[in-house]
Amino acid sequence: MRFAKTAATAAALCLALGASGAYADDEPVNAIGCHHLDKQASQALGANAASANIETAKHEADLGRDACLSGYYKIGMTHYRRVIELLASK
């Protein structure tokens, strides 16, 4: 019985983590949401290195990382969304 409960919990967690949406607005406001947006922002930075907004975007990414690591997830996620927004509007 205990194994079944543990297995069900593990399966639910895997589904929750594996089903992360491609949209930044769908992310939960917690460490997992910060992690997902960090990855999206990092990919955007890498793909748009020649953008006119790259320095501002890098600064926003640093602010997002600092806020998320300090536990200010909503603020950090706002900075990460700003990175994605800056680099999407080439």
The overall pTM is greater than 0.95: no
Give the type of residue at 75.
I
Position 10 in a domain:
no
Position 56 in a domain:
yes
Contact present, 74 and 33 (Cβ < 8 Å): no
- List, for residues 2-52, the tens digit of each pLDDT value: 545 554 454 444 434 343 334 456 788 989 999 999 999 999 999 999 999
Position 3 in a domain:
no
Its domain, for residue 46, covers 21-88
- List, for residues 56-85, the tens digit of each pLDDT value: 999 999 999 999 999 999 999 999 999 999
Cα 5 vs. chain centroid, distance in angstroms? 30
Domain count, the chain: 1
